[in-house]
Structure 1
Amino acid sequence: MLPLPERRYLAEALRTETVGGILLLLAAVAALVWANVWPHAYQSVLHHPVGPSAPLHLNLPLEAWAKDGLLTVFFFVAGIELKREFVAGELRSPSAALLPVVAAVSGVVLPAIVFTVANSGAGGHPGGWAIPTATDIAFALGVLAVVGSHLPSALRAFLLTLAVVDDLIAILIIAVFYSSGIRFWALGLALAGLVLFWFLHRRGVHGWYLFVPLALVIWALMHESGIHPTVAGVAMGLMLRCHREGAEEHSPGEHIEHLVRPLSAGVAVPVFALFAAGVTISSGAIRDVFTQAMPLGVVLGLLVGKTVGIFGGTWLAARFTRAELNPQLSWSDLFAVSTLAGIGFTVSLLISELAFPNDPELADRAKAAVLIGSLLCALVATVLLKLRNRHYRQLCEEEDRDSDGDGIPDVYQRDDRPADDQHQDDQHQDDRQRDSRPTAGDGTARPGPVTG
């Protein structure tokens, strides 16, 4: 069972992502309608230039601003999530992190292999191997919200941790394989800006009016350098401190994530989807997805590669190491979540454009394959999860039951819980009591009231 503070953080994070996922679904549908009913208007808006042309060549079409600018906010939040998972979440414990980390790595490697095999013959395009490797947590949670499925905290934690590691791998792939023509003067200045960002943050300097302009300069320099600018977002997210010090109620990273996550999930990602998901849908386009090597490789990578990779990697890790599946879950539950993780919308659409920058028609075919592959994964996962939905609902009700109304679920007040869980919750309660005490002028905590 997750410690109480981790469970509360998880619930808040996923609640925001769920709302964002629903907006993402609506944006994708709007993009498809717009691109197929008013195609000329859609293309005109996509390619409308905005921004200064000098000195950093930022006179970019709106499509590029969505891809390079808005997704930087998304990856900034992903960087904070990853840092927090390392210092306070599932990834801080090697035993707890092993299964989702192995699942994430396997869920990247096998889809790439499936795509490469499908594109190894004549007419294939192996350069798009990374397209089916990403998992979109917001889209997955949006699907769950729409179909009304429940997931117990153990499955939600597994899915979120898997997605966080998956995001890290995705940004490494983008930085290494989809960056070209490096301008070292701009890269050097961007790195200097990151060092200044880290120094000011570590020295306790506050003020959005200082950090936001600095972040924009770092982003512009990274964009000019030839490295994809979303790398700057991840780097700044990883630099934030995500552990509490002294009497802090929240760490700086947690506070900033709380402020920026709604912007990422509710604005940045849906607007990107509006500009990226508008592909022409016709009987010929759908036929091409299942008859041409490149789009077929994307569909198979998402539906087969992701599912088998995540499930198989987790099973092998549990079979040959000391890692164990949560006793509340069965392997059928994990198989369903593995299929759900095949929804690779946001980052897969981004990589589709990066993989074929000089062939818009091929990029559109890859996007159509991403949409169809994600839809198939969503449908299969919905059926599998619906079969267990009654069981999940019972688990969720048991986890949320609070008979005495004290704000703490009953499962965290039982004496039969594992000692490690009780210790972590007791430690968190002690921290809350300490942090709530008034402080003296020298910053030390005054004794609290003595009670009988």
Structure 2
Amino acid sequence: MSPSPPPGRHHDGHRLLSRPSTWAEARFVANALRTETIGGAVLLGAAVIAIVLANSPWADSYMTLRDTEVGTDWFHLRLSLGHWAADGLLAIFFFVAGLELKREFLVGDLRSPAKAAVPVVAAFCGVAVPAVVFTAVVTAMGADGDALRGWAVPTATDIAFALAVLAVIGSHLPSGLRSFLLTLAVVDDLIAITIIAVFYTSGLDAGILALALLPLAAFAALTQRRIAPWWLLLPLAGLTWAFVHASGVHATVAGVLLGLVVPVKPRRRGVPSVSTLPADADVAHRFEHRIRPLSAGVAVPVFAFFASGVPVVGGGLGQTLRDPVAVGVVAGLVVGKLVGVLGSTYLLARFTRARLDDDLAWSDIAGLAILTGVGFTVSLLVGELAFGAGSERDQHVKVGILVGSLLAAALASLVLRRRNAVYRRIHELETRDDDGDGVPDCFQDRAGTSGEATR
């Protein structure tokens, strides 16, 4: 299924997109994807409800609800409900992204340079190529210079939405591909956060931003010492978020900073609090176990509800698809992501000692690459930052994201469904447990150990 290595290349090189190296890592990936899949279904439902409302007789009521302002003028915290969802609730989403990122690079598969190279390179190319495609399309269509502000819109992959598509397809996706998709999305989130902080920050107040370091440092000190009562950490996290928001940097950056300072390596003495987790679970594990469902099931769907309601009837769709920005977004998501992710993975296999795992075919990688074109949460956020929430061009961006994501999902479904029988066979092999010890045989080495490495 994979091409034979060219002359002079050894067959024992690193395998691309192989299964996670340990049973512990495989369980973590499976649990994370299960939560994201359920969250993706809720996200999809929230987006559909918003679109229906925005194109119904209740459209004015929906817009009024979205634009209702609540809060205080202190630290610029009087915001519309739509802005609270984008600036506040999405900070929870990025907090989980920060936890994932740190975990993957310190104790996950990305700690190995050989295994990290593929998803990291694929993520960077999956950001760069869509940006180039968007810019080329917008320029070729003769759009005004302001249109180029949306270059980053088609660069993000929505892991929850993508996994919801996989759940609908019903494929037994091999664990190596699932792990690749998750780690690629984690790196993709890091790049998106960096883009937001660098390119979509205006009017930076360095003094207020410096003040954010005080509660952030206190939060880090407490979590590092395994002191984690919610009534102590939550106010510190809130202050960090408020200072970052008031400084001019997008408030979601506070979420990832808070996630990055949480320790990820476990100690035998657990956090002194009531939990269903094992006693040796660490702070990051506890936080992720508790907050991921809140992020996937509440924060992101509420943001999607307020962000994705856009008129598409009464001629709105045709007008939108004539806007170079919308066309560029669709091309970036569908073409740019495919070329960036598939092309970079193929080049790594062609010009290094790495080779595709024996269980996979290049059509699998192509299907997964197309699926990364499902962009939603971060793409909607970047569109609002680039053109202003509620502006006409922002509405066009939203339609472009919806059309591009649906097209990518449909094409990925066509490609991946062809391999369902093979996926089912791989899934049976990966879950086979002949000795009944609860650990699949494929994760046991010759000595019979489970590969349950201390994380």
Both structures adopt the same fold (TM-score exceeding 0.5):
yes
Query: Aligned match of 2:297 in 266, 270, 275?
Result: 266
Residue pair 2:71, 2:78 contacting (<8 A) in 1 also: yes
Query: Aligned match of 1:157 in 179, 191, 203?
Result: 179
> What code does the residue aligned with 1:17 have?
E
Residue pair 2:43, 2:304 contacting (<8 A) in 1 also: yes
Q: Give the number of the structure whose residues are more often helix, by fraction.
A: 1
Query: Aligned match of 1:183 in 205, 223, 232?
Result: 205
> What code does the residue aligned with 1:401 have?
R
Structure 1 partner of 2:160: 138
Equivalences for residues 53-202 of structure 1 within 5 A: 53=73, 55-121=74-140, 122-124=142-144, 125-202=147-224
> What code does the residue aligned with 1:98 have?
A
Query: Aligned match of 1:375 in 399, 406, 417?
Result: 406
SS of the aligned residue for 1:59 comes to: strand
Structure 2 partner of 1:32: 51
Structure 1 partner of 2:365: 334
Structure 2 partner of 1:396: 427
Deviation, structure 1 residue 89: 1.1
Question: 1:51 and 2:82 equivalent?
Answer: no
SS of the aligned residue for 1:40 comes to: helix
Distance 1:335 1:224 in 2: 43
Deviation, structure 1 residue 185: 2.2
**Structure 2, unaligned runs of 5 or more:** 1-18, 271-279
Distance 2:390 2:27 in 1: 46
1:209-264 Cα distance to aligned partner (Å, 9 max, x none): 10001101110111100000000000010111111124552221111111100000
State which drifts further: 259-268 or 123-132. 123-132
1:106-146 Cα distance to aligned partner (Å, 9 max, x none): 00000000011111253241110000000000000111112
Question: 1:205 and 2:227 equivalent?
Answer: yes
SS of the aligned residue for 1:119 comes to: helix
Query: Aligned match of 2:336 in 305, 317, 328?
Result: 305
Deviation, structure 1 residue 174: 0.3
Identity over aligned residues, as a percent?
A: 52
Deviation, structure 1 residue 71: 0.4
Distance 2:228 2:149 in 1: 44
Residue pair 2:123, 2:188 contacting (<8 A) in 1 also: yes
Distance 1:143 1:167 in 2: 19
Q: Are the structure 2 counterparts of residues 95 and 5 from structure 1 closer, same or farther at C-alpha, using a change threshold of 3 Å?
A: same
Deviation, structure 1 residue 278: 0.3
Q: Are the structure 2 counterparts of residues 188 and 41 from structure 1 closer, same or farther at C-alpha, using a change threshold of 3 Å?
A: same
Structure 2 partner of 1:240: 262
Deviation, structure 1 residue 289: 4.2
Deviation, structure 1 residue 414: 6.4
Deviation, structure 1 residue 87: 1.0
Deviation, structure 1 residue 314: 1.0
Residue pair 1:133, 1:301 contacting (<8 A) in 2 also: yes
Distance 1:158 1:302 in 2: 19
SS of the aligned residue for 2:55 comes to: helix
Deviation, structure 1 residue 200: 2.1
> What code does the residue aligned with 1:52 have?
T
Question: 1:8 and 2:39 equivalent?
Answer: no
1:135-174 Cα distance to aligned partner (Å, 9 max, x none): 0000001111122222110000000010000000000000
The normalised TM-score by structure 1 is 0.90
Q: Are the structure 2 counterparts of residues 427 and 161 from structure 1 closer, same or farther at C-alpha, using a change threshold of 3 Å?
A: closer
Deviation, structure 1 residue 381: 0.3
> What code does the residue aligned with 2:31 have?
E
Distance 2:445 2:233 in 1: 45
SS of the aligned residue for 2:249 comes to: coil
Distance 1:77 1:365 in 2: 30
Cα-Cα RMSD:
1.7
Residue pair 1:22, 1:142 contacting (<8 A) in 2 also: yes
State which drifts further: 289-298 or 106-115. 289-298
Q: Are the structure 2 counterparts of residues 280 and 358 from structure 1 closer, same or farther at C-alpha, using a change threshold of 3 Å?
A: closer
> What code does the residue aligned with 1:214 have?
L
Question: 1:296 and 2:327 equivalent?
Answer: yes
**Structure 1, unaligned runs of 5 or more:** 433-452
